[in-house]
């Protein structure tokens, strides 16, 4: 992303991933949920609560998964700061319950869903996807979620719906970098906004994600719900979303606003189109030593390329 302007926070402890698997914590959390089922007192499900899902083999890579520890301590989540370690160090301030997702705009049945209600609506799938960051690294992660299309179909987009806009929670109490004092140091405007064309959003690969590695999504990875779009650069996959709006014109995404010549609306992974400041021809898979060649559409060309047939991908980067 943009060159780091400042180290906003001092590095200190990093959450021990073994904690995520602590069964005792899970039992305590489950008891708390039973005592305070809903409303302001509702307890957040402890990070690491197991989450059952059926592996979708048709949509899963066979590449070995990146280590859980790397996937949860090397993150981009600018609401916590610009350093890769900031999200895991500071994400305890994010409260993934209570949480709602407003789905509205050009739809016949707009609705604000409570996250737990949403989780009951669709069967959860596990999909092993590689996430390729625009900065030149990638990770392979077993995500858990359900197709974005399932939710969109439920609210019945009208003929005027041409694009989908995602908005991340705006709350400086929970996201320290959204506070005014540090806002000036941030290269981006809050809240974080991303967008897709409706046909991209309806593609079966687009996943609304609530978990990873067999458990509830850790805060630093975008709890309680985020998008994962494996054929696009990672920044298109907005985290901790509170609103999904169906709109008639192309939304302005956060990174497009920050640097339009560097981050286009489409941002499909494309080794043939360099970022103005670096090549996109290769990537470093976190945990591997040698760089590997980046694949067009991040390896999903067979499924995805037809969405962009006839488009000049140098112009629509």
Query: Cβ closer to ligand MTE: 108 or 184?
Result: 184
Query: Cβ closer to ligand MTE: 286 or 301?
Result: 286
Tell the residue number behind the tokens 């041409």, with chain if given: 162
Tell the residue number behind the tokens 């989540």, with chain if given: 77
Least Cβ distance, residue 83 to ligand MTE (angstroms): 12
Least Cβ distance, residue 14 to ligand MTE (angstroms): 14
Query: Cβ closer to ligand MTE: 146 or 175?
Result: 175
Contact 221, 72 (CB under 8 A): yes
Least Cβ distance, residue 202 to ligand MTE (angstroms): 21
DSSP string, the chain: -PPP----S-------GGGGG-HHHHHHHHHHHHHS-SSTTPPPPPTT-B---EE-GGG---SPPPPHHHHHHS---GGG-SSTTHHHHHGGG---SS-EEEEEESBSS-EEEEHHHHHHHS--EEEEEEEE-TTSEEEEEEEEEEEHHHHHHHH-B-TT--EEEEEE---TTT-GGGSHHHHTT-SSPSSPEEEEEHHHHTSTT-EEEEEETTEEPPGGGTSS-EEE-TTB-GGGS--SEEEEEEESSPPPPHHHHH-TTTS-SS-B--TTS-BTTB--SEEEETT-SS-EEPPGGGGTHHHHGGGGTT--TTT--
Query: Cβ closer to ligand MTE: 43 or 83?
Result: 83
Least Cβ distance, residue 274 to ligand MTE (angstroms): 18
Least Cβ distance, residue 39 to ligand MTE (angstroms): 25
Query: Cβ closer to ligand MTE: 43 or 66?
Result: 66
Least Cβ distance, residue 103 to ligand MTE (angstroms): 18
Count the neighbouring beta carbons within 10 Å of the beta carbon of residue 6.
13
The CA-atom distances, in angstroms, between 164 and each of 81, 141, 227, 243, 250 are 27, 25, 12, 10, 8
Residue nearest to ligand MTE (CB): 234
Query: Which residue ranges make up the site for ligand MTE (CB under 6 A)?
Result: 1, 75-79, 131, 133, 139, 168, 192, 221-222, 234-235, 237-240
Least Cβ distance, residue 305 to ligand MTE (angstroms): 22
Query: Cβ closer to ligand MTE: 45 or 85?
Result: 85
- Structure-token pair, residue 167: 């908005």
Query: Cβ closer to ligand MTE: 106 or 245?
Result: 245
Least Cβ distance, residue 80 to ligand MTE (angstroms): 8
Query: Cβ closer to ligand MTE: 44 or 133?
Result: 133
């Amino acid at each position: 992303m943009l060159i780091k302007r400042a180290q906003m926070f001092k590095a200190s402890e990093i959450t021990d991933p073994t904690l995520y698997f602590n069964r005792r914590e899970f039992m305590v959390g489950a008891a708390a949920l039973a005592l305070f089922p809903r409303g302001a007192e509702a307890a957040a499900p402890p990070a690491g609560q197991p989450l059952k899902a059926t592996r979708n083999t048709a949509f899963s890579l066979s590449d070995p998964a990146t280590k859980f520890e790397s996937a949860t301590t090397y993150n981009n989540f600018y609401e916590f700061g610009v350093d890769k370690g900031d999200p895991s160090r500071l994400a305890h301030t994010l409260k993934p319950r209570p949480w709602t997702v407003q789905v509205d705009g050009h739809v016949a049945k707009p609705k604000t869903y409570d996250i737990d209600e949403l989780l009951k609506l669709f069967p959860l799938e596990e999909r092993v996807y590689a996430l390729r960051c625009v900065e030149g690294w990638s990770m392979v992660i077993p995500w858990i979620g359900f197709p974005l299309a399932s939710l969109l179909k439920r609210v019945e987009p009208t003929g005027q719906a041409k694009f989908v806009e995602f908005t991340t929670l705006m709350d400086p109490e929970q996201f320290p970098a959204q506070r005014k004092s540090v806002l000036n140091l941030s290269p981006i405007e809050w809240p974080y906004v991303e967008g897709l064309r409706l046909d991209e959003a309806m593609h079966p690969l687009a996943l609304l994600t609530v978990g990873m590695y067999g458990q509830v999504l850790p805060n630093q990875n975008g709890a309680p719900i985020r998008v994962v779009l494996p054929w696009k650069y990672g920044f298109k996959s907005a985290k901790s979303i509170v609103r999904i709006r169906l709109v008639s014109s192309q939304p302005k995404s956060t990174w497009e606003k920050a640097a339009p010549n560097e981050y286009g609306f489409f941002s499909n992974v494309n080794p043939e189109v360099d970022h103005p400041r670096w090549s996109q021809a290769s990537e470093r898979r976190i945990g591997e030593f040698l760089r590997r060649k980046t694949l067009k559409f991040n390896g999903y060309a067979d499924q995805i390329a037809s969405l962009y047939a006839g488009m000049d991908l140098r112009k629509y980067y």
